[in-house]
Amino acid sequence: MDLQDQLKKLFPEHEPETPENVDDGSDIWLQDDPIICKYEKRKGKPITILEGYNGATEDFKLLAKELKTKLSVGGSFKDDKIIIQGDYRDKIMQILKEKGFNVKRVGG
């Protein structure tokens, strides 16, 4: 006898609630303007910079963390920009498009 059966015996009139509108997508705010994805070299090393997000800063930080973990790379969040170590423009653009963002590739 599992917990559900025990609860049914204790409370026979109770009907379990069903969750409403379960959203499997991300709760990050989407914007109309595209996010700029550009490539630079600093001190001879390639980096990818994402800028142009006009939502909440916390959402952009969460997006930065998610990108870094999916790509298994280092990076940082400074001055409303996400800086990813290495040239990952194609992969980042694909991930952002899957999330529903408009992305514009700039440079190289």
Confidence of residue 21 (pLDDT cuts 50, 70, 90): low
- Mean confidence (pLDDT) of the chain: 84
The first and second tokens of residue 82, run together, are: 């996400």
Average pLDDT for 4-27: 70
pLDDT of 27 reads 57
Instruction: Encode burial over 49-80: b for 16+ CB neighbours within 10 A, e otherwise.
Output: bbebbeeeeeebeebbeebbeebeeebebeee
pLDDT digit string, tens, across residues 37-58: 999 999 999 999 999 888 788 8
pLDDT of 3 reads 82
Whether 9 shows a pLDDT value over 90: the answer reads: no
